[in-house]
């Protein structure tokens, strides 16, 4: 047996890893990451059947591409947990490629939170973010809580079409100074987009400094702080600090000056409230323990109710099944995140995505010109 397969023979026999999985892994490695011979590829996963099988397939695909892969397992980490020191130490090798196939999250960098890394005047609270966004020495993708079935179905898509759609939505958001989202479930929110630029997760992770999810397929933007107003009714799914939930009883969140001021609903609403309160408590505890600098605990706690992101799903193969990684990429949805934003001016311990079904999304230019990106959940084409 070929050596590269013998290392994971038992795992593959256990999971029944198929040729379809290996085909999807090859697309991820050769089409999305474009791994070159001799490049270091670090893959971090957990000893959980689904993600471990995908990680093994990616290991093999990296070898086939001539890469130098290393596969690391650590215990499952939630949004509140710290990554193992051995995982963080792997970044000292300055890998060209990094992949996180986690059952939940990669884990926070305690050293980076306590004493942020600085590059060209910008602080980064995780060594991965330093190398990806700051130094741009690596490229990456991360697939928290993905499944074999989802990976096989949502990774082999038309990336040229996805890239055009993502670019078109990004252009519309970048040209706007405000956004208005309504939906049949009751959502009606307005936010300013002044000073913000959108980002796209289009599956092209071929250059240093680029990264995103697989499955790919969203364009997203962080609203101007303190401007989100109205009512969000989450009626698809919601991410918590330690799991994702399909929503049976819609969650109604009242927004005032950029923050959630009230949460109403059933069990799902209670679970969201509990995660937010945990993030508030942990932020203050981290400051008391010296993990956060003096005064930062209250800032992190306040931002646990911040509106940090608005995203639009653009992957035609994605569907809502209670795994946020895929759910937020589904057509006919948008998502609004509570907590951390992407402009590094609303630090927080959590980032909780919540889905809104069949939205109508309108953006407005400085002169008041209106543009509709989605109407009743349908992308208005041509968007480019």
pLDDT band at 174 (very low <50, low <70, confident <90, very high): very high
Is pLDDT above 70 for 8?
no
The residue-averaged pLDDT of 193-222 equals 98
Is pLDDT above 80 for 13?
no
**Which are the contacts of 305, defined by CB distance < 8 A and separation ≥ 6?**
259, 260, 261, 276, 338
Is pLDDT above 80 for 6?
no
Q: Could you say which of 148, 176, 195 is where a domain stops?
A: 148
Residues 288 and 128: beta-carbon distance below 8 Å: no
Judgement on whether residues 30 and 106 belong to the same structural domain of the protein: yes
**Is residue 384, in this structure, part of any structural domain at all?**
no
Question: Using CA atoms, how far apart are residues 353 and 214, in angstroms rounded to an integer?
Answer: 16
Is pLDDT above 70 for 312?
yes
201 φ, ψ to 5°?
-105, 85
Q: What's the CATH number where 66 sits?
A: 3.40.1830
Residues 329 and 215: beta-carbon distance below 8 Å: yes
The residue-averaged pLDDT of 188-195 equals 98
Residues 219 and 174: beta-carbon distance below 8 Å: no
Question: pLDDT tens digits for 121-168?
Answer: 999 999 999 999 999 999 999 999 999 999 999 999 999 999 999 999
Number of domains, the chain: 2
Scanning the chain, the segments in alpha helix (DSSP H) are 3-6, 9-15, 19-26, 49-64, 85-89, 110-114, 127-129, 148-154, 159-174, 267-289, 296-302, 324-327
pLDDT for the residue numbered 3: 46
pLDDT for the residue numbered 15: 47
Judgement on whether residues 318 and 170 belong to the same structural domain of the protein: yes
Q: Could you say which of 115, 148, 181 is where a domain stops?
A: 148
4 φ, ψ to 5°?
-65, -25
pLDDT for the residue numbered 38: 98
Judgement on whether residues 75 and 109 belong to the same structural domain of the protein: yes
Q: Is the peptide bond before 215 cis (omega within 30 degrees of 0)?
A: yes
The residue-averaged pLDDT of 345-374 equals 97
pLDDT for the residue numbered 381: 78
The residue-averaged pLDDT of 99-120 equals 96
pLDDT for the residue numbered 18: 87
Domain range enclosing 121: 3-148
Judgement on whether residues 140 and 161 belong to the same structural domain of the protein: no
Judgement on whether residues 169 and 134 belong to the same structural domain of the protein: no
- Measuring CA to CA, how many Å separate 169 from each of 174, 175, 212, 265, 331? 9, 10, 17, 32, 13
Judgement on whether residues 217 and 357 belong to the same structural domain of the protein: yes
Judgement on whether residues 339 and 313 belong to the same structural domain of the protein: yes
Q: Could you say which of 85, 116, 148 is where a domain stops?
A: 148
Question: pLDDT tens digits for 61-86?
Answer: 999 999 999 999 999 999 999 999 99
């Amino acid at each position: 047996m070929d050596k590269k397969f013998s290392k994971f023979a038992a795992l593959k026999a256990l999971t029944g890893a198929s040729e379809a999985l290996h085909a999807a892994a090859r697309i991820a490695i050769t089409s999305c990451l474009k791994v070159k011979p001799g490049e270091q590829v670090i893959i971090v996963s957990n000893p959980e059947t689904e993600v471990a099988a995908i990680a093994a397939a990616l290991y093999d695909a990296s070898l086939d591409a001539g890469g130098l892969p290393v596969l690391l397992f650590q215990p499952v980490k939630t949004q509140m947990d710290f990554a193992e020191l051995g995982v963080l130490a792997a970044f000292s090798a300055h890998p060209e490629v990094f992949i996180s196939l986690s059952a939940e999250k990669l884990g926070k960098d305690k050293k980076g939170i306590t004493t942020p890394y600085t590059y060209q005047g910008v602080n980064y609270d995780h060594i991965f973010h330093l190398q990806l966004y700051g130094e741009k020495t690596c490229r990456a993708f991360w697939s928290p809580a993905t499944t074999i079935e989802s990976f096989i179905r949502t990774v082999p898509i038309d990336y040229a079409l996805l890239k055009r759609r993502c670019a078109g939505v990004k252009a519309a958001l970048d040209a706007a100074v405000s956004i208005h989202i309504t939906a049949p479930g009751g959502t009606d929110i307005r936010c300013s987009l002044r000073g913000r630029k959108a980002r796209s997760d289009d599956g092209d992770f071929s250059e240093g400094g680029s990264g995103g999810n697989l499955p790919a397929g969203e364009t997203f933007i962080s609203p101007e702080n303190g401007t989100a107003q109205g009512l969000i009714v989450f009626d698809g799914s919601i991410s918590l600090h330690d799991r994702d939930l399909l929503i049976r009883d819609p969650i109604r969140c009242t927004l005032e000056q950029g923050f959630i001021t009230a949460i109403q609903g059933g069990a799902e609403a209670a679970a969201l409230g509990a995660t937010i309160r945990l993030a508030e408590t942990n932020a203050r505890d981290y400051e008391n323990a010296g993990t956060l600098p003096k005064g930062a605990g209250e800032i992190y706690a306040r931002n646990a109710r911040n509106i940090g992101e608005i995203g639009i799903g653009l992957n035609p193969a994605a569907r809502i099944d209670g795994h946020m990684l895929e759910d937020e990429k589904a057509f006919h949805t948008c998502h609004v995140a509570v907590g951390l934003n992407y402009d590094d001016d609303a630090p927080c311990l959590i980032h909780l995505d919540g889905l809104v079904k069949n939205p109508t999304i309108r953006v407005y230019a400085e002169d008041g010109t209106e543009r509709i990106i989605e109407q009743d959940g349908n992308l208005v084409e041509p968007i480019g």
